[in-house]
Amino acid sequence: MIDAVVQHLPAWQVVLPLLGAPICILLRRPAWAWAWTVLVTWATAACAAVLLRTTLDGGPWIYEMGGWPSPIGIVYRVDPLAAFVLLIVSGVGAVVSLYARRSLTAELQTTRHDLYYAAYLLCLAGLLGMTITGDAFNVFVFLEISSLASYVLVGLGPDRRALTAAYRYLIAGALGGTFILIGIGLAYQMTGTLNMDDLAQRLPPVSHSRTVLVSFAFITVGASLKLALWPLHHWLPNAYTYAPSVTSAFISATSTKVMVYVLARFAFGIYGEPFAFEELGLGRPLLVLALSGIYVASAVAIFQTDVKRLLAYSSVAQIGYMILGISLATPAGVAAGVLHLFNHAVTKGGMFLAVGAMAYRTGSTRLEDLRGVGRVMPVSTLAFVLGGFGLIGVPLTAGFVTKWALLEALWAEGLWPVAIAVLLSSLLAVVYVGKVVETAWFHEPSEALRARAEAPVDLLLPAWILVGLSLIFGVWGAWTTGVAREAALRLLGGA
Amino acid sequence: MDVVAHWNHWVVVVLMMTGFYVIMARSNLVKKILGLNVLQAAVILMYVTMGKVEGGTAAIYLEDPHAAHHGEAEHGDGHEDDEHHDDGGHHDAPQAHATRPVTYSNPVPHVLMLTAIVVGVATTALGLALVVRIHEAFGTIEEDDLLDLEEGGG
């Protein structure tokens, strides 16, 4: 019995949430559907943890779906990088699911809760599938599963603007997905295979054809649109702002991260570093876009009057750091980018949960309504502030570990002006985090706010788990750094 | 570059850009969805085009019934293989038969497009559902009016 589970672990990873989703609808009652969601997400996270342990010890795990060997069947391919991203996504999914029950009661009619949980699990299944699969077309299919589910998750927000945000997200997402589909099609046309390992072998000999060039261009632009690389980020701020708190935390911590992974997988694992970076010189444009994104989005974040929107723009900036690391195409740079996937996921996820806790009591995420909230709700505000330190990159937070790794990688490449620019960009984060801290703590709370109590424990606990993780891995960053380095080495080694 | 020989691809490019333009330039939310559909149709045509082999027929098994029967037997073996999880050897036995007299077009892109069509239908349905809800909530489906309304607050 145990054997059957362990032997088919890569399949369970995706099948659990995928089949768990319709069961939510059958359970109907909010409490039951929620309990089931928690059960499924934690089981999924456990799968990912075991997979990561297994792959760190050995080579990549090629799992043949249904026992069909690779040219005919679809394979799942778990290497340390994939397993690491799987753990991030399913781990955040598990922690956020604890939060969902109470947060949703304030934001969504109870008759729709089961549908929400179903969409939540489908989104999780799609994200995990995209990460684990070793088949290029399968990436597209899972991409659309997760995207369609996340449009629903966003559209169920309490504000009517959630609908328009979801619509714009849908248009941008469908466009990005279609671009990726075109790219995969052109690559298939040149190689006759969709298996990632086979593609990686057959693409270099034909890489001088225009078809391969165009296919890579479509995939890069499509993935950049979906991961909200500046200036293709316009769908993101509204989607994060008006979505339910649970969605904001879950999507911000997972969906863009998986797309960064997909971009890295295609650029390094399939088209190969020599083609994408040495021949085409993808590194420099990515570096410029990432750096501009960091500065422009951070600057825009400073002027926001809504905390969730502020965090959304900060996310665009933080994605810049990930892409900056990847654009170096060195093991150290990619490792820094991968490391930031984890560090930013726990930090930003925790912050969105903390803001959700404030919104649960105050009914608003606008700065003017949160004046003095720090005195009324000190525990949730402290979680937000500690997360904010992570965004700035204060020592002893996970954000610092990434910044350090990124600076080292930039320095090793002799890109010291960029390294200085990265350091200075932290000042912008100081301003926008500081603005929230100032509003929350250095103002007298209004009469209405004074009547509120601290958020309930079931909201505080998940927020503190994620923020706590960002602190734990800030102090004890050796493990995450080691895994990220191993993952980057194997990715660049073409293994 | 022979225009006539690449006729299908020209149609693909024109359709693709038409769809893309409609998505970008139209303010009406329903028309944007239509643009998306045109774009997706272009992709479907592109895939179907690449599957066509010169002189090839539809991918329907045309060999004599005896060979087909044999193929099925092999298929059964394949299933036993699953349980043992034996990675060695056994590469798709039916293809290892003597060369076929018939040329087939590649069916794989068609199959892929079946999936893409399903995805397209789902996206369209969800998009239109959102448009209905937007119309209920805002009373308009023109992007410009929506932007004005949104700035005025929820």
Residue-range domain boundaries for chain B: 1-53+107-154, 61-104
pLDDT in tens, A103-117: 888 888 888 888 999
User: Cβ–Cβ of B23/A175 closer than 8 Å?
Assistant: yes
- CA distance between the termini of chain A: 32
The DSSP call for residue A78 is E
Q: How far apart are CA B62 and CA A441, in angstroms?
A: 78
Q: Of A151, A118, A146, A156, which Cα lies nearest the Cα of A37?
A: A118
Interface of A with B in 172-201 (CB under 8 A): 174-175, 177-178, 181-182, 185, 188-189, 192, 194
User: Cβ–Cβ of B92/A71 closer than 8 Å?
Assistant: yes
pLDDT beyond 90 at A18:
yes
Point out the residues of chain B with pLDDT beneath 50. Answer: 65, 67-97
pLDDT in tens, A178-203: 999 999 999 998 888 888 888 888 88
Residues of A with Cβ-Cβ distance to B109 under 8 angstroms: 185, 188
Amino acid in the structure at residue A28: R
In this predicted structure, what is the pLDDT of residue A495?
44
The DSSP call for residue B3 is T
pLDDT in tens, A421-435: 888 888 999 999 998
In this predicted structure, what is the pLDDT of residue B77?
39
pLDDT beyond 80 at A367:
yes
Half-sphere exposure of B27 (CA within 13 A, CB side): 8
Contact of A17 with A125, CB cutoff 8 Å: yes
* Residues 6 or more apart whose Cβ sits within 8 Å of residue A296: A230, A231
pLDDT in tens, A244-284: 999 999 999 999 999 999 999 998 888 888 887 888 888 88
Question: Which residues of chain B approach chain A closer than 8 Å at the C-beta?
Answer: 16, 20, 23, 29, 32, 36, 39-40, 43, 46-47, 50, 78-79, 81-82, 85, 87, 90-92, 106, 108-109, 112, 115-116, 119, 122-123, 126-127, 130-131, 133-134, 137-138, 146, 150, 154
pLDDT band for position A125 (50/70/90)? very high
Could you tell me what percentage of chain A is helix, strand and coil, using 3-state DSSP and rounding each to the nearest 5?
Answer: 80, 5, 15
Q: How far apart are CA A363 and CA A359, in angstroms?
A: 5
Q: What is the mean pLDDT of chain A?
A: 88
Q: Of A73, A188, A206, A184, which Cα lies nearest the Cα of B106?
A: A188
CATH topology of domain B1-53+107-154: Helix Hairpins (1.10.287)
Residue A137 at interface with chain B, using a CB cutoff of 8 Å: yes
Amino acid in the structure at residue B106: N
Residue A440 at interface with chain B, using a CB cutoff of 8 Å: no
Q: What are phi and psi of A76, to 5 degrees?
A: -100, 140
Element (H, E) at A64: strand A61-64
Residue-range domain boundaries for chain A: 282-495
Asked whether the CA dihedral A439, A160, A179, B111 is positive or negative, the reply is positive
Using only C-alpha atoms, what is the Rg of chain A? 21
In this predicted structure, what is the pLDDT of residue A480?
87
pLDDT beyond 70 at A49:
yes
User: Cβ–Cβ of B137/A163 closer than 8 Å?
Assistant: yes
pLDDT beyond 90 at A42:
yes
Q: How far apart are CA A15 and CA B81, in angstroms?
A: 22
pLDDT in tens, A412-469: 888 888 888 888 888 999 999 998 888 888 888 887 777 788 888 888 899 999 999 9
Amino acid in the structure at residue A242: Y
pLDDT beyond 60 at A50:
yes
Chain A residue with minimal CA distance to B115? A141
The DSSP call for residue A274 is I
Q: What are phi and psi of A71, to 5 degrees?
A: -65, -30
Average pLDDT over residues A151-170: 91
In this predicted structure, what is the pLDDT of residue A36?
93
